[in-house]
Amino acid sequence: MEKKRSCNVLKFGAVITIIALLFSIETAAQTIADSKVGIETEDAPKKRNGIDKIKKFTLKTVDFVDRLLNTIDTTYVADNLYNMTIMPEHSFNYEHYSFSTTGRQRQSLRIAPDSYNKLTFNIGWRWIILGYGIDFQKSKPEKDIKLSLLSPRVGLDLFYRKSNEEYKIKNLKGFYNNDRPIENNNKKFDGLAIKQIGFNLYYVFNKRFSYPAAYRQSTIQRASAGSFILGAGYNRQELTFDHNCLDPEIELQLKEELKFNNIRYNNFCINLGYSYNWVFARNFLANIALTPSVGYKHILIEKTERDRLHSGINFDLSTRAAMVYNNGKYYAGISLVGYSYYYKEKTLAVINGFGTLKTFIGFYFWKKK
């Protein structure tokens, strides 16, 4: 009996010990939890301060970028009052491609299509303008796609062009027929095809000047002003050249340097120029812009025997001029744009030139609220 009682006492003591142990564990856990809550409570203001600082920095950055891109002096520049615009455009285009050897006994070929006309349809929504152009006169129509993203101070132009023109040999040097120089035979040449893709980015320093007022009509220049313009660009061109399409008397004399199959070059450039808008009468402006550029050009010349890879610094030039009438509802104008690209290495020089004379008319609709 006494033995049984002692067993019961041991069992009871064990239960009490287990309960006490569980209670102590729960108490310790609660203490740790309370301490964590306390720590979190103390850290909460710190976290909120960190989030507030990030929000404040973000808002300041957005405000700075907005002022940088969109701030204008409304005495000189006015935004248009409509959401959308439609602008049909007619362009008269000229281009040429010159390939020449360097050094003594120089040979050169200048290849170009006849000047041609193109119709382009442009549609714009606020700061986005999309243009699609095509030349219906040719047996192989040329297609031209352009996308422009504009703000009062910043612009980005994206472009793509593919051409299978009806090219002609416009000028020759270093080729002879019975000891008499062949200078210009103006014959059709089917051995050249062009692909081009790239972008141009620019920033206007002066808030009183509007570049789009002269060329994209997303804003309106009210008083005369000019500005320096900083820009950057990328241009990738691919020229496929089949010298076997030349006349036999020319192809037989052609130097090895000019017997290439393909030229691919990538041109990265930075430009700094100046442009001026002259408001010579109410709703009228005349613009001129001159933008020299310096860049890095990477060129790959593919030949049957071997490929040649070259790179180096190059200098190019673009010029623009325009005259525009814009009364805030309707507009019309004329513009002239010219580009030149030049590359020279030890044995070969390549010059590409483009010129476009545009006439356009358009109107705005869907007034902003």
- Residue-level pLDDT at 166: 78
User: What pLDDT, in 10s, does the model give residues 83-125?
Assistant: 999 999 999 988 889 989 987 788 999 999 888 888 999 999 9
User: What pLDDT, in 10s, does the model give residues 320-357?
Assistant: 999 999 999 999 999 999 887 777 777 888 888 889 99
- Residue-level pLDDT at 140: 63
Residues 6+ apart with CB under 8 A from 74: none
Q: Which CATH code for domain 76-367?
A: 2.40.128
Torsions phi, psi for 282 (to 5 deg): -60, 125
DSSP 3-state of 297 = strand
Contact assessment for residue 86 and residue 362, using Cβ atoms and an 8 Å cutoff: yes
- Residue-level pLDDT at 17: 45
Q: How far apart are CA 214 and CA 335, in angstroms?
A: 8
Tokens matching residue 246: 């030349």
| pTM of structure | 0.77
User: What pLDDT, in 10s, does the model give residues 245-292?
Assistant: 888 888 889 998 888 888 888 889 999 999 999 999 999 999 999 998
Contact assessment for residue 355 and residue 93, using Cβ atoms and an 8 Å cutoff: yes
Helix residue ranges, H only, 216-338? 248-251
User: What pLDDT, in 10s, does the model give residues 188-215?
Assistant: 888 888 888 999 999 999 999 999 999 9
Domain positions in the chain? 1-70, 76-367
> Of 241, 322, 235, which is closest to residue 280 (Cα–Cα)?
322
Half-sphere exposure in the Cβ direction for 202 (13 Å, CA): 25
Q: In terms of C-beta density within 10 A (0-12 exposed, 13-18 middle, 19 or more buried), how is residue 327 classed? A: exposed
